[in-house]
Structure 1
Amino acid sequence: MTAAEQHETIEDSPVGWVASHIRRYVETGGAEGGTYHGYPALLLTTRGRRSGKLRRTALIYGRDGDTYLLVASNGGAVKHPAWYLNLSSDPAVEVQVGAERFAARARTATAEERVRLWPVMTAVFPTYARYQKGTDREIPVVVIDRAPGAPASAAD
C-alpha cells in the first residue's frame, strides 16, 4: 500500500467476534491475536471492489516457504467471502503477521497448486475439509507473496 493509503481509514470486519480479534491484534501491535483458538492468524487488508475503501479482516493462515496461504472458505457458504472478491478485483493487499506489516500481492492458487496446497491448509485447520464437503463451490486457496522490495514495518 502506498503512503497515502496508510493514512486512509481502514474499516474492520463488521462481524463482532472478528472485529474484536482485529482490535486486540492492532492494539497490542501483534503481541496478542497472532493465534485464534490455537490457529495462526494474520490481518489482511484489501481494497473494497465497489466502495474503494480499505477493509481489514483476521484470517487463519498457513505457509509454503516464504509464501502465506489463506482459504476463502466463508465457513463453507455458497458464496465467496467479501475479502476474496476484493483481492480478486485488486490483488494489492497489506498483511500483518505479529508485529510485522508488509505490502503483498494476492492471487488464487492454480488448479495444480491447489492440489498440493489444500492438504497444507487442511493440516493447519482440519475444518476446511468439512467446509469443502458441505458446498458445491471449490473453495479457493489464496497465495500471498510479499511485494518485491516491500519493506517490513512494525505495527503502529
Structure 2
Amino acid sequence: MPDHERLARQSNRVVRRWPRAQRSMSRIHARLYRISGGRFGSRWFAGAPVMVLQTVGRRSGEKRSTPVLYLRDGDALVVMAANAGAARTPAWWLNLKAAGVGEAIVGRERRMVAPRELVGAEHDRLLRRFVEMYPQAEHYSRFTDRPLPLIALEPATR
C-alpha cells in the first residue's frame, strides 16, 4: 500500500474513533499557528501549506479557528471539506456556508473571505492540483458517501 494511502487511512481512523481528540489537537494547532504568526504549524505532511480559517459558530455564535490545508489559485485560497473522509461534514464548512464570510489567516496576513463551492471543470482542475499537493486527499472519498467539496475562499468586503 502506498504511503499516502496508508496515511489517509490512519487519519480517517483517528477522526472516526477520537473526534474530540482531533478537535482538541486542531484547537491547539490553530492557537500555536496564530501566536507564532504562522512560523509553527504552517506545513503538514509532504509540505502541504496550512492556514487557519476563522468562522463563527452557526449555533453558538462563538469564533472558531481551524487549521486547514490550502492551495492558492489567483486571489483565492482553495480548501477541501474532507474531514479526512469522515462521514461528518466539517463544522467549519457548515459555519462558513451559514455565515457567508470568514477570516483566513496565512502567516501574519489576515483577510476576510467569502466561500464559493467549486463545480465542473474548475473543480476538476483544482482537485488535480490539490491531490498533487496532498496525495492523501485522493483517498478520502473512499471512506464516505458524502461529497467532499472544494471551496474557493475569495476576498470579501464585509
Judge same fold: TM > 0.5, yes or no: yes
Q: Which residue of 1 aligns with 2:151?
A: 142
Q: Which has the higher strand share?
A: 1
Aligned counterpart for 1:28 among listed residues 24, 28, 36: 36
Is the Cα contact below 8 Å between 1:109 and 1:141 reproduced in 2?
yes
SS state at 2:68 partner: strand
Aligned-pair CA distance for 1:79:
2.4
Q: Which residue of 2 aligns with 1:106?
A: 115
Q: Which residue of 1 aligns with 2:16?
A: none
TM-score by length of 2: 0.79
Task: Provide the C-alpha distance between the structure 2 equivalents of 1:113 and 1:51, rounded to a whole number of angstroms.
Answer: 34
User: What are structure 1's unaligned runs of at least 5 residues?
Assistant: 1-12, 151-156
- Per-residue deviation, residues 75-124 of structure 1 (Å, max 9, x unmatched): 10112111111111112100100110111111211234212211111111
Count of paired positions: 137
Task: Provide the C-alpha distance between the structure 2 equivalents of 1:136 and 1:111, rounded to a whole number of angstroms.
Answer: 19
Aligned-pair CA distance for 1:33:
2.0
- Per-residue deviation, residues 127-155 of structure 1 (Å, max 9, x unmatched): 1110012222220001101124x8xxxxx
TM-score by length of 1: 0.80
Q: Which has the higher helix share?
A: 2
SS state at 2:49 partner: strand
Stretches (4+) displaced over 3 A: none
Q: Which residue of 2 aligns with 1:72?
A: 81
Aligned-pair CA distance for 1:32:
2.1
**Aligned ranges for residues 5-20 of structure 1 at < 5 Å?**
15-20=23-28
**Aligned ranges for residues 117-132 of structure 1 at < 5 Å?**
117-132=126-141
Letter in 2 for 1:111: G
Across the aligned residues of Structure 1 and Structure 2, the Cα RMSD in angstroms comes to 1.8
User: What are structure 2's unaligned runs of at least 5 residues?
Assistant: 1-20
